[in-house]
Structure 1
Amino acid sequence: MAKNPPKAWGYALATVALWSTVASAFKLSLGYFSPLQLLLVASLTSCLLLAGLLSAQGKWPLVRQLLRSRGRFFLLLGLLNPLAYYLLLFQAYALLPAQQAQAINYTWAIALSLLAVPVLGQRLNRFDGLAILCTYLGALVIATRGQLTSLQFDSPLGVGLALLSTLIWAGYWLVNAKNQADPLVSLFLAFALSLPFTLLICLVWDAPPPLIWQGWAGAIYVGLFEMGLAFVFWLQALRHAQQASQLSNLIFLSPFVSLLWLRWLVGEAIHPATPLGLALIVAGLLLQQWPQWRAARKAP
C-alpha cells in the first residue's frame, strides 16, 4: 500500500478523539447497566460491526479457515479480551471516579514490560526502571488524590481491579505477539468466540440488560467506537504512515482530552492531583520509549 502521511494523521487523530471519549461513555453507561450488561451489549455491537467489515472485504473464507485451524487460540484471546479485560475495567470504573480508573489503565504498557521479563525472558534497562517508578508514582498520586503518606483510596478494590486489568491487557498482547493472522479477522474471532461465555455469565450471575435507552445507547457507542472503529482507524493510520513512531506520540494526548470530556459530559470534578499524576504517567511512558527513539535517530 502506498504511504499517505496526511491520511495517516487523519486516521490517527480520529482514533485519539474516539479514545478520549470512552472514559465518559463507560461512566455514563454504568449509571444504567451493570459491568456485565455493558460488556454483553458492547461485545455484541462490536461483533456485528466487525462482521459487516469482514463482509465488505470478502474475508469470510479466511474466518472459516482460522476457526478450523486455530479456534482454541482465538478462544483464549477472547477470554482475555474482551471478556476478562473489559469486565475488570468496567467494574473498576463502577467503583472509582473515571479520572482515576482511566489514568491507572494507561499504565498497561509498563505492565507489559514487567510481564515480558518472566514470560519472554527480556531484561529491564535503566530507562525501564525509571519508567516503572515514574508511572506507578503517577498512578499512586491520582489514586490517593495526592495524599501519598496516608495511602487512602476511594476504593481499594477499584484500584486493584484497574491494575489487574492492565496485567490482563498486557497478557493479551503477549499471547497475541506471534499471531500473524489478519488483525481484523483475529479481533472478530476473539469477540465472537467469547460472546457466548459473556452471555452465559450475564444470565447466571446478573440479569439481561434492562430496556433503558440511555444504557443501550452508551453500550452501543462503546461497542462501535472503543471496541470497533478505534481499532480499525488505528490500523489504517499505521498502514498509511511513513513512521509509526510519530503517530504513537498522539496517544499521550488522549488522557488529557478525556479529562475535559469527563468534566463537561459526566460532571466529574477534576482533582488537582489528577493532571499531575497523568503527567508523571506520560513521562514514564515517554522514558520507556526513549531507547527506541534514540536508536531510530541514529539509524541511516
Structure 2
Amino acid sequence: MSQIAERQAFFMGLGAVGLWSTVATAFKWALSDMSPLMLLWIATGVSWCLFSVLLWRQPHRPALWPERGHRLIPVIAGVLNPTLYYLLLFEGYRRLPGQEAMALNYTWALTLAFMAIPMLKHRLRGIDVIAGGICYGGVLVIATRGQPWSLTFADPVGVGIMLVTTVIWAGYWILNTLDQRPALLAQWQNFTIGWAVLSLILYRSPDIAWPSSGPYWGAALYVGLFEMGIAFLLWLGAMKRTQQTSRLSNLIFLSPPISLVLLNQLLGEPIFASTLVALAMILCGLALQQWHRQSDHPA
C-alpha cells in the first residue's frame, strides 16, 4: 500500500510541478493586456470558486469561520496570500522578463531558511551561509544582466519587488506553522478575505481595464484555476501521501528549465546567457541546501 501511495504522490507532485512550469508564460501573457490588480482579482475569484465547490462537496464540512478570538491568523494570512504576495509578484513579472522574475522567485526557499532562524529559533548552519552566497550571487547576475562587477542594475525596482515577494511568501509559510486550520478550509478563508480586499481596491481604482479579448480572459482564468488552485491541491495531496517529503521536493528543480523553454517557444522571449548562469547558481545553492537537509534527516 505504501508503494501505491508513493507512486500516487510522485505523479501528483509531477502534475503540480508541470502546472507551475507554465505560470511564468501565463503571467507574462495576461499582464501584456491587463494590470496586476485586474489579473489578480479575476484569478482569485476563480480560485475562490474552486475552493468553495470542493469545500461544499466534503461530507463533513467544518465551520466556515473560526470563533471570535481565533480570527487573526485568517485575516493576516489572507492579506499576505493572495493579496499582497501576488500583487507584488505580478508587478515584478510586469516589469522584468519572465525568465528573470521566475529565477528570482525561486530564492524564496532560501529566504525561508534565514527567516526561520529568528522567528522559529532554527539553527544557522554553515551550509545555509554557503547556499545563500551562491543563490544571491545569482541574484546579482540577474540584476546586472550578466555584469555583476559593474553594479549597474537593469531594473532595480523590479528586482527589489521580486525579493520582497520572497520575504512575504516565506513569512506566509512560517505563519502556517502556527495555523491549525485544515488546509482546504484555510485556503477558502484566505481567498475569501483576499478577494474582498481586492474587490474594494478595484472598486476604488480610477481606471478599470477589463481583458480586451477572450485569450486574455483565458490566461487569467488559467492562472486562477491551475497556478493558484489545482496545483496547490495536487501538491497538498502529494505531501499527504508521501513519507519521503524531501525527495518529493526535488521535483521542484524540474520547473525552471521547463519554464524557460515555454517562455521562449510560446512568447518568443530570448533566453539570456546571464539568466542561464544565474539560474544555475540559484538552483545549485538550493540543491546544496536541500541535499544537505536530506543527509541530516534521511527518509
Normalising TM by the smaller chain, what interval?
Answer: over 0.9
Change (3 A) 1:18 1:205: same
Deviation at 1:59, TM superposition (A): 5.0
Q: In the alignment, what sits opposite 1:122?
A: 122
Number of residue pairs aligned between Structure 1 and Structure 2: 297
Q: In the alignment, what sits opposite 1:145?
A: 145
Identity %: 44
Distance in 2 separating the partners of 1:59 and 1:48:
19
Distance in 2 separating the partners of 1:288 and 1:123:
14
Deviation at 1:70, TM superposition (A): 2.7
Residue 71 of structure 2 aligns to a residue whose secondary structure is helix
Change (3 A) 1:58 1:208: farther
Q: In the alignment, what sits opposite 1:274?
A: 275
Change (3 A) 1:6 1:121: closer
Q: Which amino acid in structure 1 is aligned with residue 251 of structure 2?
A: L
Asked whether the equivalents of residues 42 and 224 of structure 1 are also in contact (C-alpha less than 8 Å), the reply is yes
Change (3 A) 1:59 1:258: farther
Task: Give runs of aligned pairs for residues 174-185 of structure 1, distance below 5 A.
Answer: 174-185=174-185
- The TM-score with structure 2 as length reference comes to 0.94
Q: Which amino acid in structure 1 is aligned with residue 122 of structure 2?
A: Q
Deviation at 1:275, TM superposition (A): 1.7
Q: In the alignment, what sits opposite 1:284?
A: 285
Deviation at 1:122, TM superposition (A): 2.6
Deviation at 1:5, TM superposition (A): 1.8
Distance in 1 separating the partners of 2:246 and 2:130:
21
Deviation at 1:62, TM superposition (A): 3.3
Distance in 2 separating the partners of 1:219 and 1:68:
35
Structure number having the greater helix percentage: 1
CA RMSD of aligned residues (A): 1.8
Asked whether the equivalents of residues 144 and 151 of structure 1 are also in contact (C-alpha less than 8 Å), the reply is yes
Q: In the alignment, what sits opposite 1:247?
A: 248
Task: Give runs of aligned pairs for residues 139-218 of structure 1, distance below 5 A.
Answer: 139-212=139-212, 213-218=214-219
Residue 284 of structure 2 aligns to a residue whose secondary structure is helix
Task: Give runs of aligned pairs for residues 1-300 of structure 1, distance below 5 A.
Answer: 4-58=5-59, 60-64=61-65, 66=66, 70-212=70-212, 213-297=214-298
Q: Which amino acid in structure 1 is aligned with residue 246 of structure 2?
A: S
Asked whether the equivalents of residues 11 and 236 of structure 1 are also in contact (C-alpha less than 8 Å), the reply is yes
Distance in 1 separating the partners of 2:292 and 2:206:
47
Q: Deviations over 1:109-151 (max 9, x none)?
A: 1111222223223331100000110111112212222111122
- Gaps of at least 5 residues in structure 1 are none
Distance in 2 separating the partners of 1:143 and 1:59:
50
Distance in 2 separating the partners of 1:148 and 1:45:
41
Deviation at 1:32, TM superposition (A): 1.0
Asked whether the equivalents of residues 33 and 211 of structure 2 are also in contact (C-alpha less than 8 Å), the reply is no
Q: Which amino acid in structure 1 is aligned with residue 134 of structure 2?
A: C
Deviation at 1:264, TM superposition (A): 1.0
Asked whether the equivalents of residues 73 and 179 of structure 2 are also in contact (C-alpha less than 8 Å), the reply is no
Task: Say which is worse superposed, 193-202 or 99-108, in terms of deviation.
Answer: 193-202
Distance in 2 separating the partners of 1:178 and 1:185:
15
Asked whether the equivalents of residues 34 and 211 of structure 2 are also in contact (C-alpha less than 8 Å), the reply is no
Q: Deviations over 1:215-237 (max 9, x none)?
A: 32111110001110000000111
Deviation at 1:289, TM superposition (A): 2.2
Residue 152 of structure 1 aligns to a residue whose secondary structure is coil
Distance in 1 separating the partners of 2:261 and 2:10:
22
Distance in 1 separating the partners of 2:191 and 2:173:
15
Asked whether the equivalents of residues 107 and 135 of structure 1 are also in contact (C-alpha less than 8 Å), the reply is yes
Distance in 2 separating the partners of 1:211 and 1:274:
30
Asked whether the equivalents of residues 99 and 270 of structure 1 are also in contact (C-alpha less than 8 Å), the reply is yes
- The TM-score with structure 1 as length reference comes to 0.93
